[in-house]
Amino acid sequence: MNSVCVCVCVCVCVCVCAVGLTGTKLGCAEGGCGACTVMLSRFQPDTQKLLHFSVNACLTPICSLHLVAVTTVEGIGSVARKLHPVQERIARSHGSQCGFCTPGIVMSMYALLRNQPKPRMADMEEAFQGNLCRCTGYRPILEGFKTFTEAACCGGRGRDNGCCLTNGSGDEKLFDDVTPPLFDAAEFTPFDPTQEVIFPPELMRSQSLCFHGDRSTWFQPTSLDEFLCLKWKHPNARVVVGNTEVGIEVKFKNMVYPVILSPTFIPELNAVTHTEDGELSYGGMAPTTVLARTTARRLLGR
Ligand SMILES: Cc1cc2nc3c(=O)[nH]c(=O)nc-3n(C[C@H](O)[C@H](O)[C@H](O)COP(=O)(O)OP(=O)(O)OC[C@H]3O[C@@H](n4cnc5c(N)ncnc54)[C@H](O)[C@@H]3O)c2cc1C
Ligand code: FES
Ligand code: FES
């Protein structure tokens, strides 16, 4: 097991700002507002698949990032280079006022699109569960981003293959004369999911690690045996996954956990399995978004 000396509890939000990436905002610092949302991507050696998910950087410990790619709002586009369609559409649909929540909202939408290039409205609403906007209000944000969804509609402004407003399948009330359209969707840059940044190939592996800090030691085992062995050696070790509970305790209640175990790279704890008789079994590490998606696919066939 490789061993490195580091301050175990520093959060990702502090680190991205320290390297000059100031797009990610620190609002509540306790996982409540979503202003600090970034996307993490991790290779899963057992399934050979990539996992993309949004997290609150204010509660994500720096140690949990080994072999993980972090995408901040600067990484997907900028005014100087070119805006990403997610950034362009929130701006053009008037979905940003003070802009403090905007990078977080953009990254929640971006992470959703990396997993589902054509999400449903319900998926989108769920993706924003952790994002608060104090001044704009959610209508322009949702209407702008609706153009990415299956329910996308050009508002009758003449897309090819017929608009739902003219073929009768749409909700015409949304676009009646009383509510003028916020934007012209026909002017939006098309979203092409094949043009996204690739995952760095050098991160496509797993590795047991140990980070030593002044107050805590962070172990990242890669097998269940190794994990159990460490837990046997350090019975009081705290297991950390999302860190949304432990992180609050450490930041705001001054709790100190001398040994922390991170099971992120243990295949069994990430696995979602279906048995012949219809039972679903989830590893304790599997992200809730993956659980929800798999369950819906299994039970509702979507
Ligand atoms: C803003 C905010 C709002 C919240 N709202 C709610 C709410 O409405 N309802 C609610 O119920 N909770 C709420 N919570 C609490 C939140 O749900 C829990 O903090 C979260 O579920 C813990 O998951 P985690 O992966 O982040 O756990 P961590 O913080 O990583 O760990 C939490 C505890 O579970 C243990 N643990 C974690 N993973 C494993 C594992 N795989 N095997 C064994 N033990 C494990 C840890 O040792 C630790 O004791 C909220 C938290 C925040 C920050
Ligand atoms: S700053 Fe509010 S969730 Fe992170
Ligand atoms: S634009 Fe101000 S909080 Fe959302």
Which range of 6-10, 126-130, 181-185 scores highest in mean pLDDT? It is 126-130
Between CA 29 and CA 48 the distance in angstroms is: 34
Is the same domain home to 131 and 29? yes
Q: Does residue 50 sit in the same domain as residue 181?
A: yes
Domain membership of residue 242 (yes or no) is no
Residue matched to tokens 């600067």 = 74
Q: 276 and 173 in one domain?
A: no
pLDDT above 50: residue 222: yes
The predicted model gives 191-207 an average pLDDT of 91
Sequence-distant (6+) residues with CB within 8 A of 29 are 13, 36, 58, 251
Across the beta sheet with 217-220, the strand order is 2-5, 209-212, 217-220, 259-261, 238-239
The CA distance from 111 to 104, in Å, is: 11
What percent of the chain stands above pLDDT 90? 61
Q: Are residues 296 and 189 in the same domain?
A: no
pLDDT tens digit sequence for 74-101: 999 999 999 999 999 999 999 999 999 9
Q: Check residue 102 and give its pLDDT.
A: 97
Centroid of ligand 3 to alpha carbon of 9 (angstroms): 29
Amino acid 101 reads: C
| pTM for this prediction | 0.88
* CA 88–ligand 3 middle distance (angstroms): 16
Binding pocket residue ranges, ligand 2, CB within 6 Å: 26-29, 31-36, 56, 58
Residues 32 and 181 in one domain: yes
Could you tell me the end-to-end alpha-carbon distance of the chain, in angstroms, rounded to an integer?
42
Number of H helices, E strands in the chain: 11, 10
Categorize the per-residue pLDDT at 18 as very low, low, confident or very high, splitting at 50, 70 and 90: confident
Mean pLDDT score, 120-140: 92
In a domain, 79, yes or no: yes
Residue 154, pLDDT score: 52
Beta bridge partners of 126: none
Q: How confident is the model at residue 152 (pLDDT cuts 50, 70, 90)?
A: low
Which of 11, 14, 25, 58 is the pocket-test mutation for ligand 2 (most atoms within 8 Å of CB)?
58
Residues 295, 159, single domain; the answer is: no
Atom of ligand 2 nearest to the CA of 13: 4
d(Cα 73, Cα 258) in Å, to the nearest integer? Answer: 34
Question: Does residue 256 belong to any structural domain of this protein?
Answer: no
Q: Is 290 in the pocket of ligand 1 (CB under 6 A)?
A: no
CA 195, 142, 129: angle at the middle one, nearest 5?
A: 90
Last residue of some domain: 193, 208, 238? 193
Is 23 a domain residue? yes
Tell whether the model's pLDDT for residue 42 goes beyond 70.
yes
Site to probe by mutation for ligand 3, drawn from 107, 128, 134 as the one with most ligand atoms within 8 Å of Cβ, is 134
Domain with 63 in it: what CATH number?
1.10.150.120
What is the residue range of 167's domain? 8-193
151 found inside a domain: yes
Question: Is 164 a member of any domain?
Answer: yes
Distance CA 191, CA 84 (A): 8
The rounded Å distance from CA 96 to ligand 3 centre is: 6
In single-letter form, the type of residue at position 203 comes to L
Q: What is the overall mean pLDDT for the chain? A: 86
* Residue 19 binned pLDDT confidence (cut-offs 50, 70, 90): confident
Is residue 298 pLDDT above 60, yes or no?
yes
Give 270 Cα–ligand 3 centroid separation in angstroms: 35
With respect to residue 111, please indicate whether it lies within any of the assigned structural domains: yes
Report if residue 251 sits inside a domain: no
Between CA 233 and CA 155 the distance in angstroms is 63
Q: Is residue 234 within 8 Å of 216, Cβ to Cβ?
A: no
**For ligand 1, is residue 130 a contact (CB within 6 Å)?**
no
**Do residues 167 and 29 both lie within one domain?**
yes
| Sheet order of strands, 68-71 included | 49-56, 37-44, 68-71
Together in a domain, 35 and 131:
yes
Q: Among 193, 210, 229, identify where a domain stops.
A: 193
Measured CA to CA, the distance from residue 239 to residue 227 in angstroms comes to: 10
Domain count, the chain: 2
Query: Is there a single domain that holds both residue 42 and residue 179?
Result: yes
Last residue of some domain: 193, 211, 229? 193
> By alpha-carbon position, which residue is closest to atom 4 of ligand 3?
133
Same domain, 162 and 279: no
Asked if 22 and 131 sit in the same domain, the reply is: yes
> Do 21 and 169 have their domain in common?
yes
pLDDT tens digits along 154-181:
554 444 545 555 555 555 555 555 667 8
Give pLDDT, residue 159. 47
Environment class of residue 16 by beta-carbon count within 10 Å: exposed (0-12), middle (13-18) or buried (19+)? buried
Q: Say how far apart CA 123 and CA 92 lie, in whole Å.
A: 22
